[in-house]
Structures are given as structure tokens and as C-alpha cells.
A and B are shown apart, each in its own frame.
Chain A
């Protein structure tokens, strides 16, 4: 069944601060994880991914951390900007499978 969940449904952050969005997954067989950003009225936009043989991966202003021991995934956004306002989904996949399993999402809002 669906196994990816998020700790917090909403997150409010001061503009310029760092944002941390957390995610728990329950299937230890998953070996590929993705973070998507979804703005209102649009489809999910790929942000960053990480494979299970890594514990950290950095992109532009974003970092994903993977802790396989506790089955935890996090997305860190540095210097949060108004344009970062969106719903963020973590997702998992088995590399041999076709489907992505999405979590229920965290809504990130930015305070000016």
C-alpha cells in the first residue's frame, strides 16, 4: 500500500530563513527518492532526487538528506523566497518498479 507520509501538513517560514520539510517512509525496499514541488494549478515539478546508496545530495539552494536507519527523508531549502511557496511532496520508488508512491504533501508558506 501507500507508505510515504509527512510529519507536518503545513509549514510557515520567515522569508530568508531556511526551510526543512520532513518525510517518513516505511518500505525499506525503496531505493530511489524524489522531492517534487507543486504550485497551485500546476503539475509536480521535479526538485531533487537521491538514491539509497547516498545519504546527502545538494542542488541549487536545496539539499536532500536520507537516513535509511530510521527511514527518514528531508528537504532543506536555503534562504527561502516567496517563490518557494508551494506544496512539497516526497515520493519513493523501487528502481525495478514503474510507479512513484507519493506522500500527502506539506504546504510551505512564506512570511514577509
Chain B
């Protein structure tokens, strides 16, 4: 997992604050995915981005959540006005250009978000 870098590893916020989670994909990877995981559950897809474009945001709540992957710098998952239900582990994955095939997504070690 060392290839995909996420920070911070742990983030504590109070209700109503903003949370910003960062993800740097593996070198050479231009596709980034964000997932959320609740304790003892599998990961749930949130959003898929390529550089400067959101490709699929079907798993992301319509309000308070946003994601970006700028031309320069890491991908950012932003949660505004956090609530207790946002407490979870957020994982980022990356993959290279898929082309006509399928490529496994490689995951970072996640950001554990706790809302007080």
C-alpha cells in the first residue's frame, strides 16, 4: 500500500467543522477513486476522478461532500459541516490508464475520520 499516500492518517473534527482528506496516487496512475468504510463492513464506492475531471460521483452524498483531482497536487475529498455519521475510514485507490482492459485498484492505508 505504500504507493498510494493518504494524509492525514487520523483526523478528528467537531460537528459543523470541515474535513479535508488528501490522496496522492501511485506514480504513473491518473485515475483516483474514493471509498468509505464503516467498522466491520466492506468499502463503499464514493467517487471516481481523472485529472481535473469527475467521471462518476454516483456514490457520493449530494450535499456537503465534494472531490477534486487538480492538474497539480493530490486529490482532495472535502466534507463540509461534518456530522457524527461521517465518522468512518476513507480510502483512496488509484489505477493506471485502463484502456480496454481492467486493472486492479491499489489502495492507500486510509484516513480515519472521527467526529466529536
A44 in complex: contacting residue of B6, B43, B48, B102, CB < 8 Å: B43
Cross-chain contact A43 with B110 (CB below 8 angstroms): yes
Q: A43-B4, A89-B42, A89-B43 are in contact. Are A49 and B104 (CB under 8 A)?
A: yes
Closest B residue, CB atoms, query A45 = B1
Q: A34-B104, A43-B91 are in contact. Are A104 and B41 (CB under 8 A)?
A: yes
Cross-chain contact A102 with B43 (CB below 8 angstroms): yes
Cross-chain contact B56 with A99 (CB below 8 angstroms): yes
Cross-chain contact B109 with A93 (CB below 8 angstroms): no
Q: A95-B101, A98-B56, A99-B48 are in contact. Are A43 and B42 (CB under 8 A)?
A: no
Query: Is B108 part of the contact surface with A, judged by Cβ < 8 Å?
Result: yes
The distance from the CB of B51 to the nearest CB of chain A, in whole angstroms, is: 15
Residues of the B chain whose Cβ atoms lie less than 8 Å from the Cβ of A99: 33, 45, 48, 56, 58-59
**Interface residues in B, total, Cβ within 8 A:** 28
The distance from the CB of B47 to the nearest CB of chain A, in whole angstroms, is: 9
Residues of the A chain whose Cβ atoms lie less than 8 Å from the Cβ of B91: 43-44
Q: Of residues 35 to 58 in A, which have CB atoms within 8 Å of B's CB atoms?
A: 36, 41-46, 49, 51
Chain A residues at the B interface, C-beta cutoff of 8 Å: 2, 4, 31-32, 34, 36, 41-46, 49, 51, 89, 91, 93, 95, 97-105
Seed contacts A101-B45, A102-B42; 19 additional CB < 8 Å A-B pairs:
A2-B42, A4-B42, A31-B102, A36-B107, A45-B1, A46-B106, A46-B107, A49-B102, A89-B42, A93-B102, A95-B102, A97-B56, A98-B31, A98-B56, A100-B33, A100-B45, A102-B35, A104-B41, A105-B42
Chain B residues at the A interface, C-beta cutoff of 8 Å: 1, 4, 6, 31, 33, 35, 40-45, 48, 55-56, 58-59, 91, 93, 101-102, 104-110
